[in-house]
Chains A and B, each alone.
Chain A
Amino acid sequence: MANYGMAFDYKLCINCRACEVACKEENGIELGARKHRLWINKENEPTGDFWNLDRTKSRFMQMQCQECEEAPCLKACPNQAIYRDSNGIVRLYNDKCDLSLDCVKACPYDARYVDTRKKITDKCIFCADTRLARGETTTACQITCPAKLRIFGDLDNPNSEISKILKERKYFQLKPEKGTRPKLFYLE
């Protein structure tokens, strides 16, 4: 029983994408650029001419399911295939998914994709059925990250590293106007 979330020290990202490969290898994700549980957004290329580049707005953003407390995908599914597990992670009953794609359309973060092998809509579940299920305490993306910029843990435990860092540092969430209350936090 936990309430898992993840914080990103996002400015440290160098877009190496070790996270993406580790996720695919751990969770057996299909190959193909469109098939992934997490990805890095390259935002705001430098502007200006070469000798006077402005790099200040350039950043690499870690993207994946935002584990919304008010999850639009969960509400949108006509088959009640999406549920929240005991660790607060939004999960899917694979056999109930009929690929109506309502969840894909409902997600403001583009976090879901179609797994063509299993014929389901898939997304990041914090390695819930691989690493966490085996009793490990880290996700594949987190443990491999060269910058160690992903901080994963139990938001309900005040002594967890994620709880501590969220108390210490300022952060923002993605698309707060959507009212989804994500459990992913980007540290300033």
Chain B
Amino acid sequence: MKVIEVSRRKFLQGSIALSIYASSSLAKLPQITTKTNMQKAKDIPYLCNMCRNKCAGFARVEGESVTKLNPNKYFPKSRNMLCPKGNAGINALYDKDRLKYPLIRIGKRGDGKYRRVTWDEAYEYIKNSLIKILDKQKDNRSTIAYCNGEGFNKDEYIKFFGDKLGSSNFLDEGSICLNTKLGATMLTIGDIGEPDIAGSDFIIISGANRFESLITPDSIDLLQNEQKLIVLDPRCTVTALKADEYIPINVGTDLAFCLAMTYIAIKDELYNKEFVQKYFKDFDKYKEHILKSEYTAQWAESKTHIPAHKIERITKDFFGSKRPLYYLGRRSVWVENDFQFRRAMVLINALAGSINRKGGIIFGQPIKLPQEEVNAPMYANAQARFDLDGIVYGSSKGGSWLNFREKLLTNSSPYPIKTMFIRKHNLMQNMPNITKTKKMLEIMDLVVVIDTLPSDTALMADVILPECTYLEREDMVVSFNRLEPSLAMRNQVIKPLYESRSMQNILKGLGKKLTKPLFEISKKHDEDLQDSIKELGEKKAFTEGGYDLSELYKNDISIRNRQLIEKSFGKEVYKSLKEKGVWYPNMDKYHREIFNNSYEYYPKDKRYYTIKRKFKVNCYLKKLSDNGFDAMPTWREEYNFVVPKDKFRMITGRYISDTQTASTNNIMLRELMQTNHIWINNQIAKRLGIKLGDEVEVSSSIGKVKILAYPTNKIAPSVVWFAHGYGVNSDELTNAFGNGASDNMILEDKFEKIYGCATMHHTDVTIRRI
């Protein structure tokens, strides 16, 4: 074998860590790929779930096994491709560490000692705990908090715990993800919109790493269309590397760049006057504010480190191009000014007239899916959520994780939260300051985790319910996109492995178990229900009140899908969803190959670039000033990028091969990226005596981690970066455990007050070679 190692020269020239450190650990990996065979196989359309995109594919099933995942050419959103993660979905299905059976904790929380139980035993345990908790809380259903990361079944999950069971405390990933962007767009132009990358001829991207954090169709459209691309980032990512122009920038100062663009556009009258006159509200106020504040290019240079002449040139080119787009991004919230920054970007697009038109932020026309009705009981004693107290807007759906956690830890919630149902949400790794999350879970009387893998969070559970993966279940049909809208359906590829179940089946079983005993508690404490029983009799009060928790799932999901689609769209549409996984109007006519497996989905004149709609561009948000915040995008001195001497600003992001912590145990993806490394500027590293592969200790005010170093000229001198998703603590995850460092061990927990979102790029750290 020696000969081979010498002759494989490509590994010697490889620059990043993989090839250098891989050798020892890779030897341990078992053989897990299987060659596809010549026999007849089924090709079943499915929707990927390796990340938030939901790209479409066909699963090759040989006998009972999935042997290959191939892209689906019919889906406008994913454009006939699967990324490395999508291809590695097989290894998520066949991950040997999967949760296989229901488990009940027998050791201490977090020590991983569980006993295998039947589904009924697990439900029974949950029932007995809930009876005690709810009785004690006098049927305040909101004492049960429940959370779910992104995904198709989130709404189904909310229907169960929110509508049926009656809790108001739902939390999701929005407040550790992109709520500021959604809110800023909504409040400024009345819609969250959709960027039309393919139609644009000039795009500015601030920080969003579209070639390493793929979003479909945005990333694909960037690759397959020609437009001038300018990327601003404190780190030279692959997106920056491939851009026409890369503009290095100080962390968290993109708002200053936007304000200077706005200043130049207004002062030099580069903006689209017709559009502004027609759609803007309070433009005069904005104009006066921007000009008076003197957000000149020179001013912005002092904040951003971008030369003034570049800011001027880019602004002129942007407003001078036919269809410019300032891409709003979609990633975690960076710093305190995030909402203002996102809003400034929306306003720049509006100043250029790039709203509701080709190449801009389009409103489009999504296909409307009918909703099933839910008969939701009214619980008189269920109290309102409290995690948006002190937040100006906030998402009334998914709340604010950090505010929620803080209120529990400081005992300042108006009522106790004693139970958490956690699904597809790795709390122990997904938000800054893991120590606090652990404390929050420790004060619970009951923690139930529904997931596919024994994550760090699963090991904090009292009861673990194994869910099947996306390849083992059908999900409700989903409507996708606005410019080239379509319906798509995740078909079941194979039956659930082991004793795992789909979420609907898990909740159906739980609902059956809980319905009667929880109704008894309501009878005891809920005066409205008592009145209703007096009036209608118990049976009628129960039925008409909607207290049967499992009635949502009376019909199997395949029946619900068929009924819903056939009724509203007809049999042919359902057939298309079953056979091709996708449907959109005139698909047979419109769908055609252009070249080399690239397709056109809608002819250009049939895309919804512009729709008839009345809308306003809101420059001034009074609610913000009423609450002591800036009503218009404004720079404040505390936004200045300042890092103390000998410290570094820690920023985070991810590799193309990873989706947060959900994919870190995937053996195929570990092959692509063994572990994470900390990027540190090469000149600084040299001064500190840090070389490639050295182990360093990174410390912040809340914790420290050990990680391998990657000195590079691709990061600013006062900044360090490492990818999220590593440093997993659960030793049940064979491929992930003990691998790299977790950013949330050292990121200080701060949240901005407009949407209650955790900011990720404000922590300063020190680095020491070990």
Interface residues of A, Cβ cutoff 8 Å to B: 12, 14-18, 20-22, 24-34, 39, 41-43, 45-51, 53, 55, 58, 63, 101, 104-105, 110, 113-114, 117, 130-131, 133-134, 138, 140, 142-148, 150-151, 161
Q: Is B756 an interface position by the 8 A CB rule?
A: no
For the complex formed, measure the closest distance between the CB of B247 and the CB atoms of chain A, giving whole angstroms: 10
Q: Is B533 an interface position by the 8 A CB rule?
A: no
Q: Which of A16, A49, A150 contacts B83 (CB 8 A)?
A: A16
Q: Is B293 an interface position by the 8 A CB rule?
A: no
Interface centre among B13, B90, B224, B596 (most CB of A within 10 A): B596
Interface string of B67-111 (1 = CB under 8 A from A): 111110000000111111011101000000000000000000000
Q: Which of A16, A30, A33, A143 contacts B214 (CB 8 A)?
A: A16
Are B31's CB and A161's CB within 8 A?
A: no
B-side binding surface: helix, strand, loop or mixed? mixed
For the complex formed, measure the closest distance between the CB of A159 and the CB atoms of chain B, giving whole angstroms: 13
Are A148's CB and B31's CB within 8 A?
A: no
Q: Is B248 an interface position by the 8 A CB rule?
A: yes
Set of chain A residues within 8 Å of B384, measured between Cβ atoms: none
Are B10's CB and A146's CB within 8 A?
A: no
**Band of interface residues on B:** 35 or more
Set of chain B residues within 8 Å of A146, measured between Cβ atoms: 79, 81, 83, 214, 219-220, 223
Are B15's CB and A45's CB within 8 A?
A: yes
The CA-CA distance from A113 to B668 in the complex, in Å, is: 19
The CA-CA distance from A12 to B229 in the complex, in Å, is: 13
Are B31's CB and A31's CB within 8 A?
A: yes
Are A142's CB and B597's CB within 8 A?
A: yes
Are A46's CB and B236's CB within 8 A?
A: yes
> Known contacts A15-B656, A47-B713, A144-B71; can you find 14 more A-B pairs with CB under 8 A?
A21-B87, A25-B90, A31-B33, A31-B671, A42-B14, A50-B714, A50-B715, A53-B236, A63-B10, A104-B4, A114-B1, A143-B597, A144-B82, A146-B219
Are B9's CB and A18's CB within 8 A?
A: no
Set of chain B residues within 8 Å of A133, measured between Cβ atoms: 38
For the complex formed, measure the closest distance between the CB of A40 and the CB atoms of chain B, giving whole angstroms: 10
Interface residues of B, Cβ cutoff 8 Å to A: 1, 3-5, 7-11, 13-16, 18-19, 22-23, 26-27, 29-36, 38, 67-71, 79-84, 86-88, 90, 211-212, 214, 219-220, 223-224, 236, 238, 240-242, 246, 248, 305, 595-598, 656-657, 667-668, 671-672, 681, 683, 712-717
Are B88's CB and A145's CB within 8 A?
A: no
Query: A22-B87, A31-B667 known; A148 and B596 CB under 8 Å?
Result: yes
The CA-CA distance from A144 to B90 in the complex, in Å, is: 15
Q: Which of A20, A26, A41, A63 contacts B36 (CB 8 A)?
A: A26
The CA-CA distance from A29 to B33 in the complex, in Å, is: 6
Query: A33-B11, A144-B81, A148-B81 known; A114 and B713 CB under 8 Å?
Result: no
What are 15 sample pairs from A and B whose C-beta atoms fall under 8 A apart?
Answer: A12-B223, A14-B238, A17-B84, A18-B83, A21-B672, A24-B33, A27-B33, A33-B11, A42-B15, A55-B240, A101-B4, A133-B38, A146-B81, A146-B223, A148-B80
The CA-CA distance from A100 to B74 in the complex, in Å, is: 47
Set of chain B residues within 8 Å of A29, measured between Cβ atoms: 33
Are B714's CB and A14's CB within 8 A?
A: no
The CA-CA distance from A30 to B302 in the complex, in Å, is: 53
Nearest 5 Cβ contacts at the A-B interface: A28-B35, A21-B87, A14-B211, A147-B223, A146-B81
Set of chain A residues within 8 Å of B26, measured between Cβ atoms: 31-34
Number of A-B residue pairs at CB separation under 8 A:
180
The CA-CA distance from A142 to B716 in the complex, in Å, is: 36
Set of chain A residues within 8 Å of B595, measured between Cβ atoms: 161
The CA-CA distance from A43 to B214 in the complex, in Å, is: 22
Are A148's CB and B33's CB within 8 A?
A: no
The CA-CA distance from A131 to B10 in the complex, in Å, is: 27
Query: A17-B672, A34-B5, A151-B596 known; A144 and B87 CB under 8 Å?
Result: yes
Are B87's CB and A148's CB within 8 A?
A: no
Query: A22-B87, A110-B10 known; A31 and B29 CB under 8 Å?
Result: yes
Set of chain B residues within 8 Å of A14, measured between Cβ atoms: 211-212, 223, 238, 242, 656
Interface centre among A22, A50, A113, A114 (most CB of B within 10 A): A50
Are B15's CB and A32's CB within 8 A?
A: no
Set of chain A residues within 8 Å of B16, measured between Cβ atoms: 42
Are A34's CB and B4's CB within 8 A?
A: yes
The CA-CA distance from A101 to B2 in the complex, in Å, is: 11
For the complex formed, measure the closest distance between the CB of B761 and the CB atoms of chain A, giving whole angstroms: 17
Are B82's CB and A22's CB within 8 A?
A: yes
The CA-CA distance from A41 to B12 in the complex, in Å, is: 11
Are A161's CB and B7's CB within 8 A?
A: no
Set of chain A residues within 8 Å of B68, measured between Cβ atoms: 25-26, 140
Set of chain B residues within 8 Å of A143, measured between Cβ atoms: 70-71, 80, 597
Set of chain A residues within 8 Å of B36, measured between Cβ atoms: 26-28, 130-131
The CA-CA distance from A138 to B71 in the complex, in Å, is: 12
Set of chain A residues within 8 Å of B83, measured between Cβ atoms: 16, 18, 146
